[in-house]
Amino acid sequence: MLKSFFRAAGISLLIHGAAVAQTLPPTVISVDLKQDQGPLPPIWAWFGYDEPNYTYMKDGKKLLTELSRLSPVPVNVRVHSLLVTGDGEAALKWGSTNAYTEDKNGNPVYDWTIVDRIFDTFIQRGMRPIAQIGFMPEALSSHPQPYRHHWKPGDDYNDIYTGWAYPPNDYKKWSELVYQWVKHSVSRYGQTEVEKWYWELWNEPNIGYWKGTTEEYIKLYDYTADAVKRALPTAKIGGPEVTGPNWNVSAKFFRTFLDHVVSGKNYVTGKTGTPIDFITFHAKGNPKVVDGHVRMDMGAQLRDIDRGFAIVASYPTLKKLPIIIGESDPEGCAACSEDLHPQNAYRNGTMYSSYTAASFARKYDLAKAHGVNLAGAVTWAFEFEDQAWFRGFRDLATNGVDKPVLNVFRMFGKMDGNRVATTRPAGYSYNRLRDSSVRAEPDVNALATHTGKSASVLIWHYHDDNLPGPAAPVTVQVSGVPGKQARLTHYRVDQQSSNAYEAWKRMGSPKAPTTAQIAELERAGQLQTVGKPQLVTVNKDGRIELPFTLPRQGVSLLSLAWD
């Protein structure tokens, strides 16, 4: 009923939206191609998901192929449960590889068949795994039973934390398992390839994902890092993938771990400190249903990032290490569909895509403000095989059809070169958005890049409230353009463009679309342009003015090229 209500509400609001005021006050965004702000690292080219066995399934392979193609750089992929015991059956919040078992005498038995199938799928597409070392094999768990869970939406989330979440019963056997995995990876893929991977330990060890103490996690990290470096001294190892550090419990765990890395006594070597090549933590927003509609909270996510960066920056010897925000999302549970969690009704439509554009731009701003090295921000969203169409999971595609949010990542993939300055007379700074989210006027702003022969300007019209609102008249003024003409291609994600969800609703929301309908939905899910590419005139002072109207929760990418 709730799902039907929100979908119905979305339709009625869209209809009502046609009757509301048509425009907001004009917004002028200035882009100065001569104000180079340095490289714009592709922090968006990072994705992850809970269920590793979806990787090599039909729709999983299709989506991974699309993700690999949207980026000019290798896409990094992070998945859970790579060492979990089981038969490889995929289920919500569950996965297994059976990489480690023991014979009747307690001797290790290694089987890399399923792990290889997962990593082969990545490598064949030019992608790089964030090789998550976890979770605990049944034979190594200090509390193995119960082991396999059967969680489903609506169940207590804590039901997922079973025998795989416990410390090992033998740290030396664990260390040998890690050593053998890294050695096997080098043998299969080559040292040059594996040196590019990120090896990390566990996930969110400050909550139920880890049933040991903080000190036991630190001990496990020491044994893990030692094993990785023994197998491949040039391998990259990091952690601790804590939950959002704006929570004091998480921040305490984070600092305790980093203190140990810097100055603690190593459990394996007895020396001071332990290897770390990159640092990880998570950041999540907090949407709610307010007065019958979904209200996002981007500020909560940015406060997590801000606090995490501040903690890392407080360690002089660690400040310049790469930071990976291992999960960076509007909220916490990808497998919690909108059926039972109506606050997640933002996921199918353009609110998710505009939120993504606006939030990623501010991640860059926060990293610059703290002087830290942000390498990646993992979008914890993939696909859920053989589920109902547009069920409302936090995913990038449904049944092989791309959702609007995926097209924002396609836009990011077209942004080449260095970041350049963008200004507008008023609006949301990253500080204001961090502190108060977007609860007053909409956030209409831009992110821009420049190469010697091109420029790209990403513009979004975002608001936390998923309500209809007037479109924004925008004029983008690009200065520093050489020559007399430039070729403009205008890409768009909104209710009409690059939006398979709205196309599906126009079909009547079929539960079992026909072959022809699926083909139509696949076309609707691709990134589309507003009209055809056109030549625009550069005035005498090297400036181009590009006026257009951007609907609420819409995103535009203006791509300019010249000879």
| Overall residue count recorded for the chain in this entry | 563
Strands (E) located in 135-291: 198-201, 236-242, 278-284, 288-290
How far is the C-alpha of 300 from the C-alpha of 303, rounded, in Å?
Answer: 5
In order of 65, 305, 336, 354, the CA distances from 400 in angstroms are 11, 32, 19, 22
> Within the chain, which residues score under 50 in pLDDT?
1-21
358-371: per-residue pLDDT in tens?
Answer: 999 999 999 999 99
5-43: per-residue pLDDT in tens?
Answer: 333 333 223 323 333 345 689 999 999 999 999 999 999
Q: Which of 50, 48, 73 is nearest to 63 (CA)?
A: 48
Indicate the helix (H) or strand (E) that contains 271: none
Q: Which of 308, 277, 296, 336 is nearest to 153 (CA)?
A: 336
| Known catalytic membership, residue 385 | no
CB 352: neighbour CB atoms within 10 A? 26
Provide the token pair at 261. 């890395």
Residue 235: per-residue pLDDT: 98
Provide the token pair at 66. 């699309």
**Are the C-beta atoms of residues 393 and 343 closer than 8 Å to each other?**
no
Q: The pTM is what?
A: 0.94
How far is the C-alpha of 350 from the C-alpha of 367, rounded, in Å?
Answer: 26
Residue 426: per-residue pLDDT: 85
Helix segments in 18-57, DSSP class H: none
Residue tagged active-site, from 51, 66, 138, 204? 204
Residue 17: per-residue pLDDT: 32
Cis peptide before 470 (omega within 30 of 0): no
In order of 144, 161, 219, 350, the CA distances from 100 in angstroms are 14, 19, 21, 43
Adjacent-strand bridge partners of 101: 109
CA end-to-end span of the chain, whole Å? 56
Residue 22: per-residue pLDDT: 57
Spatial CB neighbours of 245, under 8 Å, sequence gap ≥ 6: 251, 254, 281, 304, 307, 308, 311
CB 393: neighbour CB atoms within 10 A? 26
How far is the C-alpha of 23 from the C-alpha of 2, rounded, in Å?
Answer: 31
115-150: per-residue pLDDT in tens?
Answer: 999 999 999 999 999 999 999 999 999 999 999 999
How far is the C-alpha of 203 from the C-alpha of 216, rounded, in Å?
Answer: 14
**Are the C-beta atoms of residues 562 and 454 closer than 8 Å to each other?**
yes
